[in-house]
Amino acid sequence: MDCLFCKIILGEVPAQVVSETEHTLAFRDINPQAPVHVLVIPKIHVPNFAALAEHPEALAAVAAQAAAVAKAEGVDASGYRVVFNTGSGAGQTVFHVHAHLLGGRGLNWPPG
Ligand code: AMP
Ligand code: ZN
């Protein structure tokens, strides 16, 4: 399968890894949209949020690591956002599910 994020998990494509657990990997977005912009992915290949919802353990692991990274990066007190772009109409470009963790600046609502 030709999946960029599976290649990052396998170490075939380099990434700035922030932290890793048995079931998840967190790494910095290559095109950051905020001072803190980290992607959190499950190590199993699932294409999107709907598919991740069918794997509750993986979903919980992604959520737990996003919260842990937010704390480690120091954005938990000021506030942060966790986003799953789902489908090309919502801006999804990589079809290995990933949570965007964004923080370190003011975040408008609603998002664009
Ligand atoms: P999305 O558009 O929601 O699918 O998010 C995909 C994200 O992956 C974008 O924010 C990209 O900047 C990011 N991205 C693409 N390639 C890489 C890479 N090699 N390493 C880190 N982040 C990447
Ligand atoms: Zn994948």
Q: Is the CB of 83 under 6 A from ligand 1?
A: no
In a domain, 112, yes or no: no
Q: Which of 4, 48, 94 to mutate to test the pocket of ligand 1 (most atoms within 8 A of CB)?
A: 94
Which ligand lies nearest the alpha carbon of 27? 1
In a domain, 111, yes or no: no
Number of domains forming the structure of the chain: 1
Average pLDDT over residues 29-50: 98
By residue range, what is the domain housing residue 38? 4-103
SS3 track for the chain: CCCHHHHHHHCCCCCCEEEECCCEEEEECCCCCCCEEEEEEECCCCCCHHHHCCCHHHHHHHHHHHHHHHHHCCCCCCCEEEECCCCHHHCCCCCCCCEEEEECCCCCCCCC
CATH number at residue 79: 3.30.428.10
Q: What is the pLDDT of residue 112?
A: 83
In a domain, 76, yes or no: yes
Q: Is the CB of 1 under 6 A from ligand 1?
A: no
Q: Supply the mean pLDDT for the chain.
A: 97
Strand partners, 80: 103
Q: What is the pLDDT of residue 35?
A: 98
Q: What is the pLDDT of residue 1?
A: 78
In a domain, 108, yes or no: no
